Amino acid sequence: MKKYPVAIPWLGEEEASAAGDVFHSGWVTQGPKVGEFEKQFANYVGADHACGLANCTVALHLGLKAVGVDYGDIVITVSHSFIATANSVRHCGAEPYFVDIELDTFNMDPAALSKAIEEDFTEQDGQLWLNDCSRFECGESPLRRICPPKGRLAAIMPVHQVGMPADMKAILAIAEKHNIPVIEDAACAIGSQISMDGGTTWDHVGAPHGDGACFSFHPRKVLTTGDGGMLTLKDEALLRKVQLSRQHGMDTSDLARHGANKVVFEGYTVTGFNGRLTDIQASVGLEQLKRISEMVAHRRALATAYAEALAGISGVIVPVEPQYAKTNWQSYIIRLEDPTIQVAVMQHLMDNGVSTRRGIMNSHREKPYADQWQEGCLPMSELAQDSGIILPLYHQMQEKDCHEIAERIARSMP
């Protein structure tokens, strides 16, 4: 019986050889390969600027800080995401304010965003302030250490969940109305496309549509460098801020000092972090970028095969793209009409050689956030987690594998 893991990265000899070249080059971190990768990445997604970083969590953290998120602030985002989304807000000393998702895209519901802003915040002195900060006076919330809690709405952070583009047109209209910056969590969305004009023209996710977009190169993502991240930006001034923060606040890079023909002393102008990407990772990323179109096209063919093969199975809901989205299918998540059978179906599949994962987690159900958010407060997010099953999808699969897995799913249904 053929066994299917849930994901396998697609790394080949080209990546190994590129990394080997960097070993022997004498420059292994934050050097020329990082600069080249940033340039090629920006070119691919259509961004003006890109900044290579250690991972997506660092990109979210530094991106939020660059647009002004500060101690005691609030960032509206979704709970239905990998916990790094919410954690990155707390790393800024701010607090995530969760809104619900649309069940068919697993992404921020623009109506829920609008309702939260209208009902839970009040405008004062040109800023929006959370009416009631009391839920944050306990647990790990940074707001409990700030007296009295500020609760200024400082940013909105939609997630392009498992590569499916969020409804940026609707979200940006709300953000612009209230003059709130937008940082996109595009961790999974390299190669996904979005149309802002009803399907006539298409841009890559991360162009960016908000102020910045953050990508992950973890091995579960379509493009991997082992670990790693990238922040794409519209504004050069924001790029400079992030470049400073990623290297301890140092105002002259190692590369600039290395290339100088006069003695240069660096200064340290802000309290920075270490968010560097290595040249070893960047060299792998450059090779992966050459294959990205092929990787996305193959995933899209596999998703079509899954949709055909699963269509007749009663009780299984297959994912569909909204009219404005072409996803990279970083993950293929089916939903069960009856969530109570989720574990039994997953166990049956595991016993029959198919590895799966439950639907995407909800941060508000985990210890660091459960003090602030009660079970039942985000019904669509909770249903998506409880009824979702992530199926195997990786480059080495063929369409016939999707049909084989669908047959095993059919047999697992009660």
Ligand X SMILES: Cc1ncc(COP(=O)(O)O)c(C=O)c1O
Q: List the structure tokens of 370.
A: 């459960």
Q: Does 224 bind ligand X (CB under 6 A)?
A: no
Q: Does 49 bind ligand X (CB under 6 A)?
A: no
Q: Does 283 bind ligand X (CB under 6 A)?
A: no
Number of residues that bind ligand X (CB under 6 A): 14
SS (H, E, C) 168-221: HHHHHHHHHHHCCCEEEECCCCCCCEECCCCCCCCEECCCCCCCEEEEECCCCC
Dist. CA 230–CA 217, nearest whole Å: 8
Dihedral (CA of 167, 383, 389, 229) sign: positive
Phi, psi (5° rounding) for residue 303?
-65, -40
Rank residues 84 and 168 by Cβ distance to ligand X and give the closer one. Answer: 84
Q: Which of 74, 94, 101, 159 binds ligand X (CB under 6 A)?
A: 159
Contact (CB, 8 A) for 278 and 29 = yes
Compute the least distance from the CB of residue 208 to ligand X, in Å. 15
Angle (deg, nearest 10), helices 279-310 and 32-45: 30
Written as one letter, the residue type at 405 is I
Q: Does 81 bind ligand X (CB under 6 A)?
A: yes
Stretch that binds ligand X, among 8-16, 52-60, 361-369, 384-392 (CB under 6 A): 52-60
Compute the least distance from the CB of residue 188 to ligand X, in Å. 5
Rank residues 130 and 222 by Cβ distance to ligand X and give the closer one. Answer: 222
Written as one letter, the residue type at 225 is T
Compute the least distance from the CB of residue 142 to ligand X, in Å. 19
Dist. CA 274–CA 146, nearest whole Å: 26
Angle at 185 between CA 114 and CA 112, to 5 degrees: 15
Q: Does 216 bind ligand X (CB under 6 A)?
A: yes
Q: Which of 22, 34, 51, 56 binds ligand X (CB under 6 A)?
A: 56
Q: List the structure tokens of 52.
A: 């290579």
Q: Does 244 bind ligand X (CB under 6 A)?
A: no
Q: Does 218 bind ligand X (CB under 6 A)?
A: yes
247 burial level (CB within 10 Å; 0-12, 13-18, 19+)? buried
Q: Does 85 bind ligand X (CB under 6 A)?
A: yes
Compute the least distance from the CB of residue 82 to ligand X, in Å. 4
Stretch that binds ligand X, among 26-34, 78-86, 168-176, 337-345 (CB under 6 A): 78-86
Q: Which of 73, 100, 167, 185 binds ligand X (CB under 6 A)?
A: 185
Alpha carbon of residue 134 to chain centroid: 29
Q: Does 107 bind ligand X (CB under 6 A)?
A: no
Q: Does 229 bind ligand X (CB under 6 A)?
A: yes
Eight-class DSSP state of 68: T
Q: Does 168 bind ligand X (CB under 6 A)?
A: no
Q: Does 92 bind ligand X (CB under 6 A)?
A: no
Written as one letter, the residue type at 250 is M
The contact set with ligand X (CB under 6 A) reads 55-57, 81-82, 84-85, 159, 185, 187-188, 216, 218, 229
